Amino acid sequence: MNENRLADYLDHIRQAATDACSFVEGVDKKGFVGDKRTQQSVIMSPIIIGEAATKVMDGYAEFALAHPAVPWRGMRGMRNRIAHGYFDINVDVVWDTVQTALPELLMQLSIVRRVIGGQDGRAVPD
């Protein structure tokens, strides 16, 4: 497998998580629940994250197993719940995810990305 693709998938996850966090910057939960546009923007991020996580799990299984702190299955699972149960999305869960899980994921990814930067010699900035 091409190691550069692994870096790309991790970059997609990082960018989508960063985007989701930025979409709710300065917004409280009440504002989020009342703003369909922000909800739609944020909801797209877990779909992107889950797609990229699935690519990592399927194409780079050893890498995913070597980094169990990253919630690979959880990312895929959330993507599937959103994609297949769109009309039943719980905005409270989405809000909690963007407030807690995504910032934690970004910290985990910064560690993982340093590891792959050393493996393929490619600088992977945080």
Q: What is the dihedral of CA 50, 72, 17, 123, to 10 degrees?
A: -110
Q: Which of 84, 113, 114, 122 is catalytic?
A: 84
What is the distance between the alpha carbons of residues 94 and 112, in angstroms, rounded to a whole number?
24
Is 79 marked active-site? yes
Under 8 Å between Cβ of 33 and 65: no
Residue 26 φ then ψ, to 5°: 80, 5
Q: Which of 14, 67, 76, 79 is catalytic?
A: 79
Q: What residues are annotated to the active site? A: 79, 84
